[in-house]
Amino acid sequence: MATLAAGRRTGGRSQSSRPPFGVSVISILITLGTLIPLGFVVAMTIDTGWEQAVELILRPRVGELLFNTVALVLLTVPLCLGLGVGAAWLVERTNLPGARVFSLLLAAPLAVPAFVNSYAWASTIPSLSGIFGGVLISVLSYYPFVYIPAAAMLRRLDPAIEQSAASLGLGPWAVFARVVLPQLRLAIGGGALLVGLHLLAEYGAYSMIRFNTFTTAILQQFQSTFNSTAANMLASVLVFICLMMLLLETSARGNARYARLGSGVPSAPIIRTLGRWKQASLAFVLLLLALALGIPVINVGRWLIAGGPEAWDIPGLGAALAQTLGYGLAGAALTAVVAFPIAWLAVRHSGKFTRLLESINYITSSMPGIVVALAFVTVTINFAYPLYQSAPVVIAAYVLLFMPRALVNLRAGLAQAPAELEEAAQALGVSPLRAFLRVTLRLTAPAAAGGAALVFLGISTELTATLVLAPSGVTTLATRFWSLSSEIDYAGAAPYALLLILLSLPMTYLLYRQSQKATGL
């Protein structure tokens, strides 16, 4: 069996030494900047006063929103877990026909933004609404967040453990429930957290089918009364739910570790024969793909045909595409640069201080885009009015929202660039700065590019923060699509939906390939 290092590699003298003062100061300043949304929520709650805050939070309207939001999470997350883990097991551990092709196709729905999926279903079933519509669209949009890590972990699991369990008399279902499923806990917990946070942050998909959640109510309140106290109190409840979800995932994750110890090559995974269940399993995968991928693609194509050449507003499409690319590239590059000092400290000088800095960035980035947007609106109006509705503020919001996507990739890249290589270069007479640029930065560049690509994917499909913060006259593909689809101009919105999907496909494929590379495939 292949050896998995159980211990943590020290990475040379630099990891045990004191972190450089300059890098620590920069990282602290960046982290303080990411605390703006959380500080906004706390300050607004205090400023409102206890009695008024309680009155606003205990309104029947808040109870309705709370019920809708909690019901959405409680129904959607288990369904995503079942579909994601089930689909991953079928393509990775059974003799399902076409498993390699399905392995990629099942990740493809991630390239279809949830509000585009809602547009497709709303144009197919105009009466679709309420909790049923919200759960349907959410499950079809977000199950890949569970499927991708579950499939990757199933490739990594040591089949010898399953073989040992089978030799003790456990049947296939017992082996899966008692041996395989517990080892998927990290993938299941992480996937559930991602799905839950996306459910709390989503606006366009639910607004289109007239399903009210905290996020839709906050934006509606903000647009009608502009920065109202009621909107701020709704935001505080939403942030509280986000923090509770993070704590729940952390406690459910536990400290258990599953690793292979020993030497040699891992044995091939156990491939189960589906037998009489083969046709039903194939029908399940095909139906899931038809609903999650077929409906959006077919409907976008249908509206493109119905709209004809007149639907292709070339100047408008060109301007929206250019602004999407501009904001996306600028935000992705800045996020990678800003995340680098924190990732570098986390790898080279791991400790309580660096873990705290990293955790704060994850907590801040878990907040919905509407909360981040409201925070920047309040701060710029009161303390930096010339920056109100300016491009730098929009890009700063993107950095806060998508920092973890860059951090995760940069940490992995820096871990593969040991400090000893820099030290060796310096021993040969190279200056510390040149050693860093020529060794560490070069080795980390692919990981930085991967993280930036994932940030770009998030920015190109971001809707709520862009709607609130974008300067007048700025339209991205997402905001222009939203404007047209809200006017029931489905034909006019179709070209923007197509471009959004085409922009997202390469990034989704990159995420899929990264999950395979992590397993050596």
Instruction: Express each pLDDT in 469-485 by its tens digit.
Output: 988 888 899 999 988 88
Q: Which of 14-18, 24-28, 321-325, 350-354 has the lowest mean pLDDT?
A: 14-18
Does position 44 have pLDDT exceeding 60, yes or no? Answer: yes
Could you tell me the pLDDT band of residue 515, with boundaries at 50, 70 and 90?
A: low
% of the chain at pLDDT higher than 70 = 82
Burial environment of residue 47 by CB neighbours within 10 A (0 to 12, 13 to 18, 19 or more): exposed
Phi, psi of 272 (to 5 degrees): -80, 140
At 70-106, the pLDDT tens digits run: 999 999 999 999 999 999 889 888 888 888 889 889 9
Does position 284 have pLDDT exceeding 90, yes or no? Answer: yes
Could you tell me the pLDDT band of residue 5, with boundaries at 50, 70 and 90?
A: very low
| Amino acid 264: pLDDT | 45
At 345-376, the pLDDT tens digits run: 877 777 777 778 777 777 777 778 888 888 89
Distances in whole angstroms, Cα of residue 361 to Cα of each of 83, 339, 345, 445, 458 = 30, 9, 14, 22, 17
Task: Give the Cα separation of 296 and 279 in Å (integer).
Answer: 25
CB count within 10 Å of CB 68 equals 20
Summary mean pLDDT of the chain = 80
Every domain of the chain and the residues it spans:
14-37+312-486, 59-212+277-308+494-521
Q: Quick one: average pLDDT of 126-151? A: 90
**Is it true that 14-37+312-486 and 59-212+277-308+494-521 share their CATH fold?**
yes
| Amino acid 7: pLDDT | 41
Taking a C-beta distance cutoff of 8 angstroms, is the pair 362, 339 a contact?
no
| Amino acid 15: pLDDT | 47
Could you tell me the pLDDT band of residue 285, with boundaries at 50, 70 and 90?
A: very high
CATH number of the domain located at residue range(s) 59-212+277-308+494-521 in this protein: 1.10.3720.10
Alpha carbon 195 to its chain's center: 8
% of the chain at pLDDT higher than 90 = 20
Task: Please tell me which residue, 139 or 170, carries the higher pLDDT value.
Answer: 139
Could you tell me the pLDDT band of residue 394, with boundaries at 50, 70 and 90?
A: very high
Task: Please tell me which residue, 176 or 321, carries the higher pLDDT value.
Answer: 321
| Amino acid 269: pLDDT | 66
Superfamily classification of domain 14-37+312-486: MetI-like (1.10.3720.10)
Task: Please tell me which residue, 120 or 58, carries the higher pLDDT value.
Answer: 120
